[in-house]
Amino acid sequence: MFLSFLLSLRRASLNRRASLASACPTRQPEGRAMTWRILAAAFLVLAAAPAAWLAQLPAPVHPAAPPVPAAEQAGLIEALRPPKRTRPLIAIVAINDATEVTDYLVPAGILRRAGVADVMLLATGPGPVRLYPALRVRPDATIADFDRARPQGPDYVIVPAMSREDPQLLDWLRRQADSGATVVAVCAGARVAAAAGLLDGKRAVTHWYYLPGMLKRHPDIRHVPDRRMVADRGVATTTGITASIPMMLTLTEAIAGRGKAEAVARELGLASWDASHASAGFRLTHPFATTVLANRAQFWRREELALPLRPGMDEVTLALSADAWSRTYRSAVVGVAAAPVVTANGIAILPDRASGGEGAGQVPAFADRPPAAALDLTLEAIGRRYGPRTADVVAMQLEYPGE
């Protein structure tokens, strides 16, 4: 009976898809596919749950992350030293139809803020990059244009999570790795690196949700538990979405030293950024499953939230805010501005519409706070609006340990 109910929700969602697509054109196939994969997994968890459990669900408890030995952390820094130039060239690559918003914008925002490298946002084809679950951006160049202008290739290629394995991109990644570039796969970008054959026989991590599937498909990969990032022979990988922040600080440290990384970390509101992580705290739990299903069931209460886009916005805060509010299973985020805006570090964000629409709510900005504090405040605001368990669901998807 419950499966029939779930299928009825699926039909209702399909009936509303056209209106949702026009209301929020940045909702892309990968976001919808992940939604339904989580819903299906959530149903399987609930099917085995005792009825008494539904009466009261404890909040998820995150175990303490085991410390990372100093020698191991130093080895990670050493593995990320610039492979070619004194001032490195960093390419952050995307497919145009669906690339994860935080994975794409946060590396550019942090590395350009640090000023330790030349950073370019690339796309496989011309036109804007549609980010999921929200926002659109104008890249600096296509990979073809980049290859013509920079025949030596980049020092680093940062690979975000993407909706699919693009053959053109996989071939490009292999060529860059062969030319000596260090590949940094953020979050489920590890799946892309694995599909390109760059992780065979190497140690790696990825987003907790995608880890089992990646290891099943690529059994030669050696997963490293309790590490937020690892590097092995020219390829670095990270755990879920928010791991892009410590990864970029680690890369900053490898390029320009500890002092520069500490200065950038202070601006971001972070005291530490080592590789420690408590893997056991991130998994599909009963509270997660119940909250996702309950929120999705309230499809008639789904909100559209306007995110005002303003020149000079901080990219890290913008990406984390758009990402978090789009993962509640109760809200969709729409970027609003009269014209494209350029962020603090030169990224052109394209609005979805000129205004928020009648009756639309608005995403809290927290523009006066460091990005790390803004994320904590965003999760608190989500908890107030939709309940603390929804805030926990969002943090679980972001693989955010609450630093």
Ordered DSSP codes for 283-305:
S--HHHHHHHHHHHH-GGG-EEE
Mean pLDDT of 318-343: 97
Strand residues in 167-298 grouped as ranges (E): 182-185, 203-204, 222-223, 229-232, 235-238
Mean pLDDT of 381-397: 97
Q: What is the pLDDT of residues 109-149, one digit of tens each?
A: 999 999 999 999 999 999 999 999 999 999 999 999 999 99
Q: Do 273 and 293 share a structural domain?
A: no
pLDDT of residue 187: 98
Q: Is residue 232 classed as helix, strand or coil in its secondary structure? A: strand
- Determine, yes or no, domain membership for 310: yes
**CATH number of domain containing 173:** 3.40.50.880
Query: What residues have CB less than 8 Å from 13, skipping those under 6 apart?
Result: 299
- Determine, yes or no, domain membership for 65: no
Q: CA angle, 146 as apex, 182 and 118 as ends, to 5°?
A: 60
CA distances from residue 260 to 64, 113, 267 in whole angstroms, order as listed: 28, 11, 11
Last residue of some domain: 279, 298, 322?
Answer: 279
pTM, entire model? 0.87
Number of domains, the chain:
2
- 24 noted as active-site residue: no
- Determine, yes or no, domain membership for 124: yes
Q: Do 220 and 320 share a structural domain?
A: no
Given a contact cutoff of 8 angstroms between Cβ atoms, the answer to whether 229 and 330 are in contact is: no
Question: Which is higher by pLDDT, 165 or 39?
Answer: 165
- Determine, yes or no, domain membership for 132: yes
Rounded Cα–Cα distance for residues 249 and 275 (Å): 11
Mean pLDDT of 168-184: 98
Q: CA angle, 93 as apex, 92 and 99 as ends, to 5°?
A: 110
Q: Do 375 and 255 share a structural domain?
A: no
Q: Do 300 and 261 share a structural domain?
A: no
- Determine, yes or no, domain membership for 403: no
Q: Do 301 and 251 share a structural domain?
A: no
Domain that holds residue 27: 2-60+284-398
Mean pLDDT of 369-391: 96
Q: Do 304 and 348 share a structural domain?
A: yes
Q: Do 120 and 76 share a structural domain?
A: yes
- Determine, yes or no, domain membership for 89: yes
- Determine, yes or no, domain membership for 240: yes
Q: Do 199 and 112 share a structural domain?
A: yes
Query: Virtual CA dihedral for 323, 324, 330, 335, nearest 10 degrees?
Result: -40
Arithmetic mean of pLDDT over the chain? 88
Q: Do 121 and 264 share a structural domain?
A: yes
Last residue of some domain: 279, 314, 335?
Answer: 279
Last residue of some domain: 279, 306, 336?
Answer: 279
Q: Do 78 and 34 share a structural domain?
A: no
Q: Do 200 and 56 share a structural domain?
A: no
Q: Do 41 and 81 share a structural domain?
A: no
In the chain, the percentage of residues whose pLDDT exceeds 90 is 79
Q: What is the pLDDT of residues 33-80, one digit of tens each?
A: 555 566 566 555 555 444 444 334 444 556 788 999 999 999 999 999
Exactly one of 187, 306, 324, 374 is catalytic; which is it? Answer: 187
- Determine, yes or no, domain membership for 291: yes
Q: What is the pLDDT of residues 244-303, one digit of tens each?
A: 999 999 999 999 999 999 999 999 999 999 999 999 999 999 899 999 999 999 888 899
Least confident residue range of 173-187, 215-229, 274-288 = 274-288
